Amino acid sequence: MMAEKVHDIIVIGGGLVGISAALALQGRGREVLVLDRPDETLKASQMNAGAFAFCNVEPLATPGIMRKAPGWLLDPLGPLSVPPSYAFNILPWMLRFWRASLPDRYRQAVLAQSAMMTHCEAALKRQVGATSGAAFLRQEGQLQLYEGAGEYRASLEEWNLRKELGIAFELLESAEAIAALQPGLDPRFTHAGFTPHWTNSVDPKLWLAHLTEVFLQRGGAIERLAVAALAPGEGAVELRTSSGDYHASQIVVSAGAWSHHLSRSIGEPFPLETERGYNTTLPEGAFDLKTHLTFSGHGFVVSKINEGIRVGGAVELGGLNLPPNYKRAETLLNKAKQFLPALKTDGGTQWMGYRPTLPDSLPVIDRSPSERRVVYAFGHGHLGLTQSAGTGEIVAALVHDETPPIDLGAFSASRF
């Protein structure tokens, strides 16, 4: 009987985090096989807003946010909602979410996220240089918009935090100052914060395709199949898949919203939920967008994708199995039309995807506590694109038993 082939390293997940980890490992001379789900739908790595949001250091669980919780069930189209049919399922997660919103834990999460963002911003520059990827990025800044002085004043604590962390920005206190950067906004937006160093991908789908092609050109391999479970053995880790068993000396789990199913197979459950994100992509000519727009009070953004426009965002905590509620995408598009009166809303394509999120808004990036041959890299929420290059470098350090570039205490697999 022929002995089974033992791969050097298998990365589970072909999204931006998985491909970035595969590239970083490949750069260390490792032979890497990526196993990616054969989904027919486009993944979050391909259809997100395209923003490298390095200045977004605040977790979703902010102090006082639980006072808003009752309203989530009453407004299924609001910026942060829980479908009533899923409310019971998510109660344990919500308890952890509430604990993460306590002031001391919130502050720790902010500091950890800030260190992660600093590392990831530098890592992206290295990744762009190593893959000749500059043509896939553009730096046009971001406007974070507020309706009136009251909403603006309520945001100043957030801007003071960014100042403390060394993030460059300019505060704008008139509709005229805003219009100089982005004409065509409804005059209700009287105040804004502008972050000039904000970077977007030209199209996240193209960016992922570029990185994937570089990985393949350098000798990597990708197979489209679903991994059902892990089974550590004496000589290798076994992966049970839809096409038979695979074996590898080391495993990286970066399967997004499905990652906790794999960790559970080796006795390590994680409180992973899904931020179900919705958007509509409009064709070229829909609006003359000069900069990325964030409508803070409404939980959505407007970004440029190629020469079209993508309107999307909001958070629906609803798991993997509920059918999409595309009224959420319609609500966001209708609001965008109110806020950008010249926006042409015809010819759009709707999408819903799964963004894996943990209660404290921080990913797990760590070795498995029980199986050192398994490294976890998942749970980035809506920051997967932003943190992908940096996570890849950290994964490569962990695989090679090196000291990681940042303190990973806040990202520990044991913290739950």
**pLDDT by 10-residue block (mean), the chain, 416 residues:** 77 97 98 91 88 92 79 74 88 92 92 96 98 97 96 93 92 96 97 96 97 98 96 93 93 96 97 94 97 92 97 89 92 96 97 94 97 97 96 98 97 95
Are the CB atoms for 356 and 272 separated by under 8 Å?
yes
Residue 73 lies in a domain: no
Residue 228 lies in a domain: yes
pLDDT tens per residue, range 258-286: 999 999 999 999 999 999 999 999 999 99
Q: How far is CA 39 from the centre of its chain?
A: 19
Are the CB atoms for 264 and 416 separated by under 8 Å?
no
Nearest-angstrom CA–CA distance, 9 and 15? 17
Residue 242 lies in a domain: yes
Residue 351 lies in a domain: no
* Predicted local distance difference test score (pLDDT) of residue 66: 77
Q: How far is CA 14 from the centre of its chain?
A: 14
pLDDT tens per residue, range 237-259: 999 998 899 999 999 999 999 99
- Let me know how long the chain is: 416
The residues that bridge with 224 in the sheet, in sequence order, are: 36
* Predicted local distance difference test score (pLDDT) of residue 74: 66
* Predicted local distance difference test score (pLDDT) of residue 346: 96
CA angle 189, 193, 195 (to 5 degrees): 135
Residue 298 lies in a domain: no
Count of domains forming the chain: 1
Q: For the domain that residue 116 is a member of, what is the CATH number?
A: 3.50.50.60
- pTM here is 0.95
Residue 256 lies in a domain: yes
Residue 127 lies in a domain: yes
Residue 257 lies in a domain: yes
| Full residue range of the structural domain in which residue 209 is found | 1-50+105-133+201-271+360-416
DSSP 246-276: EEEEEEEE--GGGHHHHHHTTT-----EEEE
